[in-house]
Amino acid sequence: MNASSAEALSVVLLLAVLACAVMRPRGWPEAVVAVPAAVVVIATGAISLDHARAEAEQLGPVMGFLAAVLVLARLCDEEGLFHACGAWMARTSTGRPRRLLAQVFAAASLITAVLSLDATVVLLTPVVFATAARLGARSRPHVYACAHLANSASLLLPVSNLTNLLAFAASGLSFTRFAALMTLPWLVAIGIEYAVFRRFFAADLDAGASAPPAVAAPPVPVFALVVVACTLAGFVITSAFGIGPAWAALAGAVVLAVRALARRRTTPVALVRAADLPFLAFVLALGIVVRAVVDNGLGEALGHLVPDGGTLPALLAIAALAAVLANLINNLPAVLVLLPLSAPLGAGAVLAVLIGVNIGPNLTYAGSLATLLWRRIAREHDSDPDLKEFTRLGLLTVPATLAGAVTALWLSLHAIGT
């Protein structure tokens, strides 16, 4: 196959894969189109077998971590962690929507950072719906916060997002150095989001609510909290010894799984289902298709657009390019495309890419898979998000959050270094 044909085929297949992920016809898993597309690009020679194998080897540890953390989050839910979080928000908000919004921001930011954005979207969002209904508050500000923070609050740790794991591997940073550099951008992003949300949803927040009826607070899932804390410590320890974070996540998941199986709260089949094997297959197949697109011209074209240097304007340009690309082709393909181009420029450029692909998706539904999944969950609760409202909110938050977070990154790089 000649170069132009290979480029055209790989681009068409990538668009088909992304369209299926966005629309999910008949509820099919994303892998239904992605896996055959990967097979086609390999079989036709649009990507060499060596490059496909290299992509699989790069994504293997990332997929292992993703499977472990999905199981860990699901088991934490079964231990009652998210239910206890909802009860805490309902009890301490005392019928005040503005206080509830602050609590949702705090809970979503911490859950996203430690248990990844999937936990915020899949497990916290239904709890927020239930909590708002219990208080008689309008759910829109709080539910939209889950969607935005699943993206923008995922900057803190290498384990907070699938994109983070890929950037972490390319940056050459240790776990603690990564977290240190991203702490200020994380705080700035959350602060800007919160300020915009309070103003954008002022009418909903002023509508009032009622204090919940007095009921016994659910027990705090101490065991689950201890396991999560130990798992987080394990991420730091394994990084110090050059061991992948997937092993720490696996250890935490195994501890909770053994306890749940012993108490007959779960089954082996449920654990396998929690790992979401079809989605893992989608991630691998998508990586191969994206690599085919990069090999056949996209990488060279984008290489002319990535500015060199670690100045603030250069970092802002890199983040803006990443945000635009994330909204055009989704943030996971965007980070796979941009990391090989930004890694030679240093850790600062890699982290600027990460800020762009994590914050940028708050502009459109198609920007990240997490937002697509959040929209599906909102529909299940008879609350179909309005596209115009979502876009207006994105236009108010994304540029300001992007600029603020990148500026904070630039300051962190100068204060801490790489």
> Phi and psi for 7 in degrees, rounded to 5?
-65, -45
**Cα angle value 302/310/157 (rounded, 5°):** 85
Span between the terminal Cα atoms of the chain, in Å: 43
With tokens 């250890």, the residue in question is 251
Half-sphere exposure of 7 (CA within 13 A, CB side): 11
Complete DSSP assignment for 62-81 = HHHHHHHHHHHHHHHHHTTH
Cα 180 from Cα 351, distance rounded (Å): 12
Identify the DSSP state of 25: G
Closest among 272, 219, 271 to 80, alpha carbons compared = 219
Instruction: Answer whether 307's CB lies under 8 Å from 319's CB.
Output: no
Cβ-contact 288, 332 below 8 angstroms: no
Sign of CA dihedral 110, 115, 116, 118: negative
Under a CB-based contact definition with an 8 Å cutoff, are residues 359 and 405 in contact?
A: yes
| Contact status, residue 364 vs residue 392, Cβ threshold 8 Å | no
- Report the number of secondary-structure helices (H) and strands (E) in the chain: 21, 0
- Each residue's pLDDT tens digit in the chain (418 positions)? 677 888 889 889 988 888 887 777 777 888 899 999 999 999 998 899 999 998 898 888 888 888 898 899 889 989 988 888 888 888 887 778 899 999 999 999 999 998 888 889 888 999 999 888 888 888 899 999 999 999 999 999 998 988 998 899 889 898 999 999 999 999 999 999 999 999 999 998 887 666 666 556 678 889 999 999 999 999 889 888 888 888 999 999 999 999 999 998 899 999 999 988 988 898 899 889 988 888 887 777 777 788 887 899 999 999 999 999 998 888 888 898 898 889 999 999 999 999 999 999 999 887 887 887 788 788 777 777 888 899 999 999 999 999 999 999 999 999 987 7
pLDDT digits (tens, 9 = 90+) for 46-60: 899 999 998 898 888
Burial of 215 from C-beta contacts in 10 A (0-12 / 13-18 / 19+): exposed
> 334 in helix, strand or coil?
helix
Structure tokens at 396: 């108010």
E strand residue ranges, 230-293: none
Can you say whether the dihedral through the CA atoms of 185, 189, 190, 194 is positive or negative? positive
Q: Is the pTM of this model over 0.75?
A: yes
Nearest 5°: phi and psi at 136?
A: 70, 25
- Each residue's pLDDT tens digit, 363-406: 988 788 788 778 878 877 777 788 889 999 999 999 999 999 99
CA distance 161 to 184: 17
